[in-house]
Chain A
Amino acid sequence: MSGLLAGYTTDGFFDEVVDADGAIRPHYRALIDRLRGFTPEELERRERVRDALFRTAGITFTVYGDDAGVERTFPMDLLPRVIPAGEWRHVEAGVIQRVTALNRFLEDLYVGEQAAVRDGVVPRWLVHTASGFRREAFGVAVPHAARCLVSGVDLVRDEDGHYVVLEDNLRNPSGISYVLENRAAMTRVLPRAFSEQRVRPVDHYGPMLLRALQEVSPPSAGEHPTAVVLTPGVFNAAYFEHVFLARQMGIELVEGRDLVVEDHVVHMRTTQGLKRVDVIYRRIDDDFLDPVVFRPDSALGVPGLLSAARAGNVTIANAVGNGVADDKAVYAFVPDLIRFYLGEEPILPNVQTYLLWDDEQRAEVLDRLHELVVKPVAESGGYGMLIGPHATEAEVAAMARQVQDDPRGFIAQEVVGLSRHPTLVGDHLGGRHVDLRPFAITGETVEVVPGGLTRVALRKGSLVVNSSQGGGSKDTWVLEEEVDRC
């Protein structure tokens, strides 16, 4: 292999670009041919163009923990990830199926007959002990049962290139702004690569989201429902995204103090007086949403919001209590929920998962901690995770204690040898592990944005792709059908 990929090795992992025989996969050929013509200087120049674009646009996220409050950019690799049309059809169908079943499960749980629990598909105690479970959401229906208005299903590819589901994000999945900004940057940095193949656009996300929000507005809202984005404010890690989404949809970005509930109707305070609000795309966690029913000390929320939703005067999206379904222990039951609610076999399988309250499974896991991944059930963003093969003895021992103290609080999974993708490291390409978070929007129907966010673990050998843990991203290209066939 010459130039760009000289010396590139796949090291036994499934590589997105290079097959087992060292040949470029067909759907990458046009792109790699184009990049081959670039000198290192030219690549560096393009990287500078990219950096300038991101800095000027102020595309940043905030890191919690050690460097609390520091704004960082989320680095985008110059090499996009390419998904051929046939492969995407499979992923898309799998995501739609999964999100459909999760919506059915949640609606049935909170306003239905709780069939899955009644019939023992998911243990009742498990549901009730999920930290995302909210009794207060009982009886609050959502039009079209669109409880997961925006969901992000995290997928990885295993050693054989099969897509498997790593986790579901049904509360406030973030990252869509990077998908759109990455694409906008790529069309400027590598414009000609686009013209050589048909890449499906992603910039209709704003209108798509707005339409779904309007579709789930309560019947009382009438012809022209008013939707708003509710943000915790400028200090939130994802504030940039909240601003971005409000702008993309052309609707108001409000904070809790801008809203007021009167007679179970939500209003926003404008200079012209109070204006009725019908749908709230909230980016505030359940606990902070309404101090009347949740944390009374929350200054971010709106008193009376939940009762307004219960009265059918406002729709809160995503719905309250979704966290029960993306609990990592409940995750283990999603394939069964698909079979139960849809009568179908899951298109996308789960990663082999061990439930630690089961004595047998726990004993096995504790024996094999150094070769498994252990995750807290209610965390997201990669916080609190143990990756056995990369952990020290002390870390393994600490995790063992935590698991024994709180078996319900953790799950264990087999390590997936995440697929790798060539990524620009200095002046050459190195294989780095990637995942994929497609975004599904539920309104009257479930739709998936072509592609999604490909995250890259920039540290060599690392399996953790979260932005908060030193990850980067790639623009993700889903190719049009006809290109795929030729």
Chain B
Amino acid sequence: MLARLAENLFWAGRYTERAEDTARMVDVTYHTQLESPYGEVALAWQQLLDVLHLRSAYGAPIEPVNVMRFLVLDPDNPGSVTASIARARENARSVRELISSEMWEAVNRLHLVLGDRDLEAELTEQPYELFRVVRRLSMTIYGVASETMPRDEGWRFMALGRLLERAEMTCRLIDVRYAQLEAMSGPSQRLAGDTAEVARGPDRTDFHHWIAVLKSASAFEAYRRRYRASMDPADVVEFLLLERDLPRSVLYCLDGARHQLDALRDGRPSRAARQLGRTTASLEFRDVGELFDVGLQPFLEDVQEQIAVTAEQIADEFFHHQPGGALHAIATG
């Protein structure tokens, strides 16, 4: 297929996922901070901007409702929920022949529904419903696409984009929560090193915060079934990072992306596939206690960095073929 169209599908997948995950993160930050002292609240929003790499783009004093507005409905912030949805829609529109009309309608509907609502008012008054709508309609897109599209090249590029984006965003979700807990509780010894102490008795705030994280990854119920009543941050991190069967865990997403990439390269050697394989392997056999020893945040940053490298290599291998000849050099030089 044409490289340009494949790239558009890849980004349609990424942007839809980005919209949904950003909404999830804003949601969890908002609701966990409702009962916190003001200073902590401001810090929490600042940390969210940090993990999303949007602090300098925001560039104003931290005022919770303004940060939320920036992350949800600022058209000038390319990472905002509404901007991501608009971009997902633009990409989907450019490949309408390649996606099912049902999928197109679902993408379009999400865009239109948000356009019809008074987002400004909802954000200040009661944002819960808004986040729920974004989440539900985003999931509708995947569901409908999954049931109506053949598993051809186009589908695979879209799935690849979505899975890589989600892996990255789940890393960030863990990252931001961890950073907030650290900030509230002083130095990181609480989690790093002595996991036994944490397991013994997290305070009530912690407890609720980690539940919120799990819920924002739609993983709370699955966690409960696996770990029963225990709410050990190390377990939560392990679950979101390494649980092979959890659709939003980092390992699950990278595994899935690898599967799509293998099908796409069809036996040809691929730097992107090698890179992705390495990243997956580095997670697969990881002991979570060990992670706390070396530092969870550097590790999460590293995984995100590797995902970014993989995405660049995918672009090089599939989307941006350059001829090596002299004429092209003249034409572009």
Contact = CB atoms under 8 A, between A and B. Distances in A.
A304 interface: yes
A263 B325 contact: yes
By DSSP majority rule, is chain A's interface helix, strand, loop, or mixed?
mixed
Interface stretch (A82-90, A265-273, A316-324, A466-474): A265-273
A304 B328 CA distance: 8
B327 interface: yes
B200 interface: no
B321 A269 contact: yes
By DSSP majority rule, is chain B's interface helix, strand, loop, or mixed?
helix
A271 B5 CA distance: 9
B4 A258 contact: yes
B318 interface: yes
A308 to B, nearest CB: 9
A267 B3 contact: no
Interface residues on A, range: 20 to 34
Interface residues of B, number: 24
Contacts of B326: 263
Contact of A243 (B97, B318, B319, B328): B97
Given A234-B94, A271-B318, A262 B3 contact: no
B323 A262 contact: yes
B34 interface: no
| B320, B325, B326 interface centre (most CB from chain A within 10 Å) | B325
A373 to B, nearest CB: 41
Interface in B253-295: 264
Contacts of A262: 323-325, 327-328
A395 B324 CA distance: 57
Interface string B294-333: 0000000000000000000000001111111111100110
Interface string A245-259: 001000010110110
A371 B328 CA distance: 55
A271 B4 CA distance: 8
Interface string B1-41: 11110100000000000000000000000000000000000
B153 interface: yes
B331 A303 contact: yes
B97 A258 contact: no
Interface of A: 234, 243, 247, 252, 254-255, 257-258, 260-264, 267-271, 273-274, 292, 303-304, 307
Given A258-B2, A269-B3, A292-B331, 10 more contacts: A243-B97, A247-B97, A255-B4, A262-B325, A262-B328, A269-B320, A270-B321, A271-B3, A271-B157, A274-B323
29 contacts: A234-B93, A234-B94, A243-B97, A252-B2, A257-B4, A258-B3, A258-B4, A260-B321, A260-B323, A260-B328, A261-B331, A262-B325, A262-B328, A263-B325, A263-B327, A267-B323, A268-B2, A269-B2, A270-B1, A270-B2, A270-B3, A271-B1, A271-B6, A271-B153, A271-B264, A271-B319, A274-B323, A303-B328, A304-B328
